[in-house]
Structure 1
Amino acid sequence: MTEFPVFDGHNDLVLRLLRGDVTAEGVASGLVDGHIDKPRAHRGGLGGGMFAIFVPSPGDKDVRHEEMRHPPYDIPLPAPVFEAEACEWTERGFAALDDLERAGAIRRCLTASAVEAGLRAEEMAAVTHIEGAEAIDRDLERLHLWHARGLRSLGPVWSRDTVWGHGVPFRYPSDPDIGPGLTEAGKALVRECNRLKILVDLSHLNAKGVEDVARITDAPLVATHSNAWAICPHARNLTDRQLDMIRDSDGMVGINFASAFLRPDGRMDAEFALDIPLRHFDHLVEKLGEDRVGLGSDFDGALIPEGITDCAGLPNLIEALQSHGVDDGLMAKFTHGNWLRVLHRTWGQ
């Protein structure tokens, strides 16, 4: 492990297992592709993170990525996913996390103290996150059931609309002020997440949805994998007004490595220098302060800059930050300390 173990706010490794691309045993022993496995996590200092359970939309992701290589673009949102389908997929996601734990790749963590203790352990410290709440029933019974099984973080939407609210499309250039925010059901979902101490993720919500969460929640505002709109004017990124709300709540933002959300030109192209994510880092630190910025890579769910490539490349980013003037105190906050702070505050431990 490196001097600065990383807690990462978002990855999609579970999706690769559910699609049959990899096995839990392969993740534990080492893979030839993708962004995360246990050996590379050790080399890169990835001590843990939010492991997302995400229900994919029908259609070809490669087609969307090709469109995003040629800005400007405005890709229609996928159709909503039916609750029964989402529920089945989410149950499989919990089973996949169980498989990863049995294989020795991860250790499931239910408290911030467990995350802190696990960052230098043999297995990755894993927090269960659901990205897009289509699988949650209106009576919120599954929210309680899955909380009891380890759910500690939830995004009400993944871009496509749900019964809970409205997300942002993959649109460049565009601000995130697109459409209505949370539904009444979505507001009730946020209140119940507050009561259960489940982190509510702002990433993928549109501007009015973020405002709705800010009015309702009694927890810090957190965007687990989003960037600065001032640097890359993509609908998925956060405006300065949104950053002000996050700062005022003592929340935080995890920097997303997705190329199209980093590059000022919005292109889905990984060939660029690491000075671009450093520009997002500088802007976020300026707007939020040193205690409210971390990492939210989107490993295994995005096209990652060639200077990082996968989790074994995290030291390249750390070296770039050190050359940029980031001292050891801020580096410790950025790589894991700020996440531990906000998890302690959100989960009440």
Structure 2
Amino acid sequence: MTSPLIDPPIFDGHNDLILRLLRDTATAEGVASGLPDGHIDLPRAKAGGFAGGFFAIFVPSPSNKAERQDEMNKPEYDMPLPPMISFEEGHDVTMRGVAALEALENAGAVTICRSVAELETAIHGPDMAAIMHIEGAEGIDPEFETLHALHARGLRSLGPVWSRPTIFGHGVPFRFPASPDTGPGLTEHGKRLIAECNALGIMVDLSHLNEQGFDDVASLSDAPLVATHSNAWEVTPHSRNLTDRQLQVIAESDGMVGINFASAFLRPDGQMDSDFSLDLLLRHLDHLIKFLGEDRVGFGSDFDGALVPKDIGDCAGLPNLRAAMAGHGIGPELMEKLAYRNWLRVLRRTWGD
């Protein structure tokens, strides 16, 4: 029997495991010892060569997951955005999310990394490497006291918005087919937030910003432009995906994009249906490499936050992705860049390590 391809280790731009912990559908000890469902735990990470990634702290809005999936299986959809979340609620959930990530570290499931040197060691270590990431800055006050406090606890990456508006800017809705040009971008508070993140060395994530917000960050930031979990709009014309013009702007900044495994952002028909070949993911990979080059593409799975291709399933299924890439003609050097080295490169520039 052929051994599964678990090398090189894959470091990932985005997961929502923390949300499962906050919803009490998983515990830190369960992640360390093994879970009966979901996409990520330490035993499956070891089985699949999943080295860890950006662990998102996200403030959810009330929603019906089944209704949302049904809507995203229609030929066209335009899902209304939830209303803005208050700072008080956002701050409470954000702090509980930070505590949940720290609990994962205490349970031996992850190592929280604050520098590239720590990250490179952890990627090859016994547990998962974790970057503390905030997806949607509802818990950040406009005076940035919370931002500084969280930076001291390990925050190294932040997306100003998820999809609903915040005091910092406007997100892109779940709309297909649609352009990412869906409304206004950053607010004045948002522009100040970008400058403060630059000063602290906190990476700014573009993945949920609309096109105007993307352009605002591009005009203000002195760091490489990074979209942790986004795909190519030319392959799948979803509002969440990046146009060729946006990809060119990212390339010019020497940034990068992590490919999102969410089915609706991979399939050309925009459907949230996992029954498709990994050839579709490889189409996005080829398109991103065409515009960004081999040094600026990685993965941003959205594990535990999305319906992923059936041939991956969860983090233990990553050998199937490596096999598909190898069958696509991707050699060992490029495979290693895509798996984790490109993330190390862009973070070294962003964090100033």
Matches within 5 A, 1:258-273: 258-273=262-277
Matches within 5 A, 1:29-48: 29-48=33-52
Is 1:110 the counterpart of 2:114? The answer is yes
Deviations 1:98-145 (A, max 9, x none): 111111100110001111111111110100000000110010110001
Letter in 2 for 1:284: L
Give the 4+ runs in structure 1 shifted more than 4 A. none
Deviations 1:28-81 (A, max 9, x none): 000110000000000111112000000001121221111001120000001111
Cα distance in structure 1, aligned partners of 2:272 and 2:51: 28
Residue 206 of structure 1 and its aligned partner are, at CA, apart by: 0.3
Residue pair 2:6, 2:318 contacting (<8 A) in 1 also: no
Residue 252 of structure 1 and its aligned partner are, at CA, apart by: 0.1
Unmatched 5+ residue regions in structure 1? none
Cα distance in structure 2, aligned partners of 1:217 and 1:98: 29
Q: Give the match for residue 201 of structure 1.
A: 205
Matches within 5 A, 1:221-260: 221-260=225-264
Which secondary structure state, in structure 2, belongs to the residue aligned with residue 291 of structure 1? coil
Matches within 5 A, 1:1-12: 2-12=6-16
Give the TM-score normalised by structure 2: 0.98
Unmatched 5+ residue regions in structure 2? none
Letter in 2 for 1:321: M
Cα distance in structure 2, aligned partners of 1:58 and 1:150: 28
Is 1:190 the counterpart of 2:184? The answer is no
Cα distance in structure 2, aligned partners of 1:82 and 1:303: 29
Q: 1:177 aligns with which of 169, 177, 181?
A: 181
Residue pair 1:164, 1:186 contacting (<8 A) in 2 also: yes
Letter in 1 for 2:162: W
Q: Give the match for residue 284 of structure 1.
A: 288
Is 1:53 the counterpart of 2:57? The answer is yes
Q: 2:26 aligns with which of 14, 22, 25?
A: 22
Letter in 2 for 1:60: N
Q: Give the match for residue 315 of structure 2.
A: 311
Give the TM-score normalised by structure 1: 0.99
Matches within 5 A, 1:71-110: 71-110=75-114
Letter in 2 for 1:290: E
Residue pair 2:201, 2:351 contacting (<8 A) in 1 also: yes
- Could you say what the CA RMSD is over the residues aligned between the two structures, in angstroms? 0.7
Letter in 1 for 2:243: T
Residue pair 1:233, 1:266 contacting (<8 A) in 2 also: yes
Q: Give the match for residue 343 of structure 1.
A: 347
Deviations 1:1-30 (A, max 9, x none): 922011100000000000000111110000
Residue 273 of structure 1 and its aligned partner are, at CA, apart by: 0.3
Q: Give the match for residue 162 of structure 2.
A: 158
Residue pair 2:55, 2:131 contacting (<8 A) in 1 also: yes
Residue pair 1:48, 1:115 contacting (<8 A) in 2 also: no
Cα distance in structure 1, aligned partners of 2:203 and 2:243: 21
Deviations 1:239-270 (A, max 9, x none): 00000000000000000000000000000100
Which secondary structure state, in structure 2, belongs to the residue aligned with residue 126 of structure 1? strand
Cα distance in structure 2, aligned partners of 1:168 and 1:62: 21
Cα distance in structure 1, aligned partners of 2:150 and 2:22: 18
- What is the count of residue pairs matched by the alignment? 349
